[in-house]
Amino acid sequence: MIAMMFCVSCTKDAPLVKGERTDEVDEGIQTTDEQTDVGDGAHDVQNNETNVDDGILDDTEETPTTLTDYDTSTLSNKKHSWYFNKGTNHEQPRIDTSLKNVVDKYDAIYLESPDEKTIYLTFDEGYENGYTGQILDTLKEKNVKAVFFITGPYLSKNEDLVRRMVEEGHTVGNHTVNHPSMPDVDDEKLEKELLDLDRKFYELFGQSMKYVRPPMGEFSERTVALSKNLGYTSVFWSFAYRDWETNNQKGTDYAKETVLNAIHPGEVMLLHAVSVDNANALGDIIDEARSMGYEFGELQSLER
């Protein structure tokens, strides 16, 4: 199968107190064509939307209390950038051991079983470029569910699109309010980046966010552990390409071929919804992936 992807108290319908939930390197410098770009840079949040207090949580409101499972003060804050070495002939990519050692102990998602031809589709939504509606139309037509990782400004400016995501059965994930590099902010500010967005999302839709994607793919052991303490599963990826460069789109065929040539079992696919090429190629990508024996799955089906 193939899949696409987006605190309150421990119960799903309780008021938002995320901290009470019980669910639970080497720098990624790209030096050769065999190492994929992290696929997520500051390109996610543009048009002066980066590092802007979006007013999602009034400063007079109480920030939820965290249940500390991991003592983050004892953990390394060395910044890592997510990357991997591309596979060939539809083989899985190779994830650097130094990165795996950091994220595996906190149950991060980035690559699933090599024995199942399942793809998990995810989109990053830093700002709206006019194509998310088309993407949602295609997903509905093809009966595929995805995860959409949104920021604070995205939610504030595109509530109707986020409502469509929810109502059409997709998952909405946390990409922080202001899209900072997570290791660059302290625990208190990072909690606020995550919980303010989660609270607003809960107020609007009655759901909590379960997944978080670190902005720009930058993380440390401290930030992954803190996210886990707050009830989030960190989601990275095993495929991405430079699709966020809106002034350097290379055409629908290029997008389709790039995605399909790298398709592999257990893939966590990262696409940016700002890309017109992705929007136009998505239907063909789904159809051809299925013709190759793949199906799309949902992250919620993965036990963590």
What pLDDT, on a 0 to 100 scale, did the predictor assign at position 18? 55
Active site residue 272: yes
* Domain definitions of the chain by residue range: 42-48+84-301
C-alpha to C-alpha distances, 199 to 167, 177, 234, 257, nearest whole angstrom: 18, 11, 18, 39
Number of CB atoms found within 10 A of residue 33's CB: 7
Spatial distance between the Cα atoms of 197 and 182, rounded to a whole number of angstroms = 15
- For the domain 42-48+84-301, what is the CATH code? 3.20.20.370
What pLDDT, on a 0 to 100 scale, did the predictor assign at position 276? 98
For residues 117 and 1, the answer to whether their CB atoms sit within 8 Å is yes
Please report, in tens digits, the pLDDT of each residue of the chain (304 residues total): 444 433 333 333 333 445 443 333 322 323 333 444 444 444 454 443 444 444 455 544 444 444 548 999 999 999 999 999 999 999 999 999 999 999 999 999 999 999 999 999 999 999 999 999 999 999 999 999 999 999 999 999 999 999 999 999 999 999 999 999 999 999 999 999 999 999 999 999 999 999 999 999 999 999 999 999 999 999 999 999 999 999 999 999 999 999 999 999 999 999 999 999 999 999 999 999 999 999 999 998 886 6
Active site residue 160: no
What pLDDT, on a 0 to 100 scale, did the predictor assign at position 155? 99
H or E stretch covering 118: strand 118-125
What pLDDT, on a 0 to 100 scale, did the predictor assign at position 36? 47
Torsion angles phi and psi, residue 300, rounded to 5: -60, -20
Angle, vertex CA 161, rays to CA 155 and CA 162, nearest 5: 50
What pLDDT, on a 0 to 100 scale, did the predictor assign at position 303? 66
AA letter at 113? S
Number of CB atoms found within 10 A of residue 125's CB: 28
Instruction: Give the strand pairing for 80-81 and 218-219.
Output: antiparallel
For residues 222 and 246, the answer to whether their CB atoms sit within 8 Å is no
CA 257 to chain centre: 23
Residue 297 DSSP SS3: coil
- Helical H runs in 66-142? 97-103, 132-142
Residue from 54, 124, 243, 277 carrying the catalytic annotation: 124
For residues 147 and 299, the answer to whether their CB atoms sit within 8 Å is yes
Residue from 43, 80, 170, 272 carrying the catalytic annotation: 272
